[in-house]
Amino acid sequence: MPIQAIPTHIITGFLGVGKTTAIRHLLTQKPEQENWVILVNEFGQIGIDQAGYEDQDGIQVQALAGGCICCSLGVVLSASLVKLIRRYKPDRIIIEPTGIGHPAGILDTLTSPQFAKALDVRALICLVDPRALDDARTREHEIFQDQLSLADILVINKTDLASEAQTTRFQKAARSMFPPKQLVCQAQQGIIPIELLAYGRQGDYRAVGSAADAGHHAKSSAAYSFSAPLANGLLSNKSNTLSLKPTNVEQGQNFDARLQSQVSKGQPIYRAGSGAGVYTLGWLCHSEDQFDQQKVLVWLDQLAAQEPSLLRIKAVFRVENQWLFYNRVGQESSLYPIAYRRDSRFELISETALEPSSLQASLLGCLVKSTD
């Protein structure tokens, strides 16, 4: 019996539109018997979004931080997919690209001959904030326009925060886009139905959980065959051979382990990066470092007010014996407890490079002083 291709989904959208929240909601609807793999790509050097996913049975989360899998990490995406498919035999794969990435590169990888028999690439889902049309920085951004153009399904999210006029205007614009969209729907707080995962890229629809959509556990002992074999650290194809030695692939779990080994209590390390016209600056702090919640929130509020070039602030930090997840876009922010326990992380995304030393001094000022 032939091996069932794995339903594979790209859920994209510009910075801060609510992709992680939407995927978390999809995970609450996952059939109990299925095994899902979530690939999370962050542009920043300090990955944070993966911390937003709770540990659950049947869910494997792999982070690819430090670049864009649409372009600079394309080879890493291929290698990671091969490894994840072989190791976990997933029933479904969901890929969350960075908000400032061109999804076309990911789509090209997933639909390449290498994965033709292994992956069933479904309709590309793009979340949008209807208020984006009011912001020229977003509206005129090439990546934002590419995300809309490539999408098969548009989810107009955050309709609870937008005005009725803003939502109606975007709905009207979406219906006139080319190529035409299979579906345009509305959502609040990233609450989207699992049925969206049943749409194919050619307009076909298969009910989630149908024979055409599942069946991987019954074949979990089978081995997938790839046209570009991964062997002895090399990923080869007809056009070239690319070395994938461990020193060149320091992403995801290996990337985290390498950074965490360098962190000492009270001495965070920072990493900076740039690309696609934006800059990132992030810090990784020791798991024993505890922060004063009020000081952190005041600092981040002041930072957002003083740095107009800031596009996004993300953080996961320890307050006494719990960790909090912080997300900010513009004047809107959210804060909630999560189960993450490994360390504390802060990431800034901006249109201009930020000076790290003064910012790090302010971050250290938010630490709770040890009484040891």
User: What would the pLDDT profile of 224-274 be if each residue is shown by its tens digit?
Assistant: 444 333 322 222 223 222 222 222 223 333 345 567 777 889 999 888 888
- Above 90 in pLDDT, residue 330? no
Identify whether residues 63 and 20 lie together within a single domain.
Answer: yes
| pLDDT over 70 percentage in the chain | 78
Q: Do both 53 and 173 map to the same domain?
A: yes
**Judgement on whether residues 98 and 47 belong to the same structural domain of the protein:** yes
Q: Quote the domain boundaries for residue 126.
A: 6-227
Are 124 and 193 members of one domain? yes
Model confidence at 170: pLDDT above 90:
yes
Examine residue 240 and state whether it is found in any structural domain, yes or no: no
- Out of 17-26, 145-154, 257-266, 278-287, which region has the weakest mean confidence (pLDDT)? 257-266
Q: Are residues 289 and 223 in the same domain?
A: no
In a domain, 159, yes or no: yes
The answer on 274 and 219 residing in a single domain is no
CA distances from 362 to 299, 316, 321, 325, 367 (A): 7, 16, 22, 19, 9
Both 216 and 273 in one domain: the answer is no
Could you give the angle at which helices 103-110 and 142-150 cross, rounded to 10 degrees?
40
Would you call 227 exposed, middle or buried from its count of C-beta atoms within 10 A (0-12, 13-18, 19+)?
Answer: middle
Q: What is the pLDDT of residue 209?
A: 62
Phi-psi group of 208: left, alpha or beta (phi > 0 → left; psi -120 to 50 → alpha; rest → beta):
beta
Residues 358 and 284 in one domain: yes
Is residue 56 located within the same domain as residue 137? yes
CA distance 310 to 318: 23
What integer best gives the mean pLDDT of the chain? 80
Per DSSP, the three-state class of 284 is strand
Same domain assignment for residues 220 and 71? yes
Looking up residue 16, the CATH number of its domain turns out to be: 3.40.50.300
Whether residue 108 lies inside any domain: the answer is yes
Total structural domains in the chain? Answer: 2
